[in-house]
Every structure is written in structure tokens, then in C-alpha cells.
Structure 1
Amino acid sequence: MKKIFLATLFLLPILLFAQTKEELIKQVKANPDKTETLKIIQKVGGYTPDYKELNSLFKGLDKSVRKSDEGKVFERYIKTLERTSVGKKAPGITQFDLKGEPYSLSDLQGKYVLIDFWASWCPDCIRAIPDLLVTYNEFKDKNFDILGVSFDREFAPWEKAVKNYKLDWKHISDLQSWGNAAGQVYGVKSIPQNILVDPKGIIVARNVHGEELRAKLRELL
């Protein structure tokens, strides 16, 4: 999915006009002594950041940058990505559902679960719904489910979107928008974004959509 809503840990500076990943990496390597370079490294990661690549670029920065407050925040972000990469145990999630009751990822243990990070105010999330419905309807009776984690801040639009679009899977939120606790734990800086977890709670894929997701599920199921 090319069109996304992107929120970063930092505001992107005016200097970021590069259009290609290669140009961004050159900028990083040319400015190892500037804290602004951290913003460029995050832009290198884009929608599907590779923690190994980001860590390699981060380690190439001057010590003064790595040990700065901004550097420490960015290092924690990289570690979060590492902890939630493919092959790792999925961190627990517990938030309130639309009935105001606590609901956890562990309540779906034993199934393949797609943790879907989205929001009612996100146009790209709404555009992704028809395709997500196709996936859900194909696999919902094959030991597969979806857990929607909303980045909404207001209850009413969240509830309305779930009902209007007939999203029949489980939905939870802490109504903290980009401060959503689950989003923080999984290093989610853009939506729509997802994590696919197996019946044992192991992450088997990250940010797979459409036919790629369905092909993965056919392979697994």
C-alpha cells in the first residue's frame, strides 16, 4: 500500500526533499553529526521500516547525536521494531471494546490473528476496508480472525465507522489517537498497518495487505 498516513517521532525538516531511499541514505551518511539526521533515518524506514537497516544507519552517527535526547528516543524506537519483528513473540494488548469491556489479544489465542491498526479519520484506512472484508470473509471460518485497534480519539466516529462499514470482527481502543498504547508497543508510526500473529502468539508477517496477505494465509492455513 503506497498511500499512507505517516506520523513520525519528529517533525520532518525542510531539508527533506529527496525522493529516493538511496538519496536519503546519502544524506544520512553526509550528516552524521546533526540530530536532524535522525529524522532522515526515520524517513528511510518509511512505511515498512527494517530495524536492522535503521540500526546500522543509527550506529553510523556521531556519539553526540546517539546520546542526545532525540537519539535515545530513536534508539528506543529501533528496539521496539526489533521486539515486534517477524519471529518474535507478539506483545500483549488489552484495551476496551465498543461495549466498554476490556478485551485482549490473548482472548484470540489459538487462531491466526491480524492486528489491524486503523482509524475512522484515516482515508487510506477506509479505502482499505473493502479489501480487508474480502480477506475476512474468505478466512473467518478457517481459524482466522481480525483484531481492530483504533487510533481514534472520539468514541462516536469510531463506533459509527465500525457499524457503517459492517466490520464484524473485534474492535478495541484506548482512544488516545497516535498515543495508542498498543501502537507504541508495536512501533506503529503509520496507518493502516498490520501484524499477523500465529496461534502460538508468534509474529509471522508485518504489513501485508490485499492479495499478498491472502496468499500468506492460504500458505499458513
Structure 2
Amino acid sequence: MKNIILLFICLISNTSIDAQLKIGDPLPNIYLPSYLKNEVRLLDYSGKILIVDFWASWCAPCRKANKKLVDLHREYAPTKLEIVGISVDTDRSKWLKAITKDNIEYTQLTDPHGFEAKSAIQFGVEALPASFLFDPNGKLIAINPTEQEIKKQLNHIK
């Protein structure tokens, strides 16, 4: 019986580890609705540095990070940088209010199932905020990068 339980735990552990993105992994091919309710495909954002940022309206650190992302977007978009926010909010109205209050102008998508959201599972999101930095070829180059790391990558692009 102990061996069966141990085997089950190992299988679960491997499944969650495999679901997490690792440095060098490609950008997942995910389709999600935007705040305008149209479907958006993440792979359409290749060709520039891309930040995929998981957040929620109720997450205070996320809201603080939004302000920095808004500043980065204003400074570097649309020529060098794309940012896609993915909210795991289960309440659409709170999500939309947060977008307005935080003055977010970059793409906002929703996967309204909390940490059970398919996109959150595919990226391996276990805490918020969670950011993923992809190079112009769609390769993951940093997980939860600092502002300095992001700017360093952006300054390498002509």
C-alpha cells in the first residue's frame, strides 16, 4: 500500500513539474478572450520582446506591478515590446475596473478560473503576480524578471 501511495505522489509531482515552463521553452499556443471579448492568440505576439503577466484584481502585489508594466509599455511599445496581461479573476466586473483604475493600455486577456485556469496550469503559475519574458523568437528567457532584466533585453534590440 505504501508503494502505491508513493507511486501516486511521484506521478502527481512529475505532472506538475512537466506543466511548468522552463527557460528555453517556446511560447505556448494559447487562445483567450480579451476584455473586448475577441479571441487572442499568444503566438501572434512573436517578433518582439513579450511579457506575459498573470495577475488578478484582488492581488495587491499584482496591482503594484501593473504600474511598472504600464510605464514599460509606454516607454518601449509598440516597436520593441508587447505585454499581454492574463487575469485569473473570476469576477469580470472587478477585472475591468482594475484595468481602468490601473490605466492599462496593453492587451488584457481573461482566463477566469483562478489557479485552475488552463493557461495558469500550462505556464506553471502557482502564485501571483507571475511574469514570463520571451525573446522575439518566442523563447522563454526569464521567469519573474526584474525591471532591470527586462530593460537589458530591450536595449539589445535595435
TM above 0.5, one fold? yes
Q: Deviations over 1:29-78 (max 9, x none)?
A: xxxxx9xxxxxxxxxxxxxxxxxxxxxxxxxxxx655412x332221111
For residue 189 of structure 1, what is the amino acid of its counterpart? E
Tell me the residue number matched to 2:15.
Answer: 76
In 2, distance between residues paired with 1:219 and 1:150?
29
1:38 corresponds in structure 2 to: none
Give the 3 Å change call, closer, same or farther, for CA 146–79 of structure 1 in structure 2.
Answer: same
Q: Distance in 2 between matches of 1:87 and 1:204?
A: 6
Work out which structure has the larger RCO, using CA pairs closer than 8 Å and 6 or more positions apart in sequence. Answer: 2
Deviations 1:95-151 (A, max 9, x none): 111111111102212222100011111111012222222222221133211010001
Pair 66,75 (structure 1): closer, same or farther in 2 beyond 3 Å: farther
Residue 54 of structure 2 corresponds to residue 146 of structure 1: no
1:186 to 115, 123, 126: 123
Give the secondary structure class of the aligned counterpart of 1:189. coil
**Match of residue 7 from structure 2:** 67
Q: Secondary structure, in 3 states, of the residue corresponding to 2:57?
A: coil
Percent identity among equivalent residues?
25
Deviates more, 1:111-120 or 1:131-140: 131-140
The secondary structure found in structure 2 opposite 1:120 is coil
C-alpha separation between the residues in 1 aligned to 2:157 and 2:16?
30
User: Out of 134, 142, 152, which is 1:205 matched to?
Assistant: 142
Corresponding position: 1:91 with 2:33:
no
Within 5 Å, which residues of 2 pair with 1:97-112? 97-112=34-49
User: Which structure has the greater CA radius of gyration?
Assistant: 1
1:173-219 deviation digits (Å, cap 9, x = unpaired):
12111111111101110111111112222112211022232223223
The 1-side partners of 2:6 and 2:120 are apart by 24
Q: Does the 8 Å CA contact 2:27/2:43 hold for their aligned counterparts?
A: no
For 1:176, the equivalent position in structure 2 comes to: 113
Secondary structure in 2 aligned to 1:190? coil
Matches within 5 A, 1:11-50: none
1:8 alignment partner in structure 2: none
Q: Quick one: structure 1 residues 216 and 110, their matched pair in 2 at CA, closer, same or farther if it must change by over 3 Å?
A: closer
Equivalent AA in structure 1 for residue 74 of structure 2: N
Matched residues, number:
157
Paired AA for residue 105 in structure 2? D
Match of 1:123 among 55, 60, 73: 60
Alignment RMSD (CA, Å): 1.9
Match of 1:163 among 97, 100, 105: 100
Instruction: Give the structure-2-normalised TM-score.
Output: 0.89
Q: Could you say which residue in structure 2 is the equivalent of 1:57? A: none
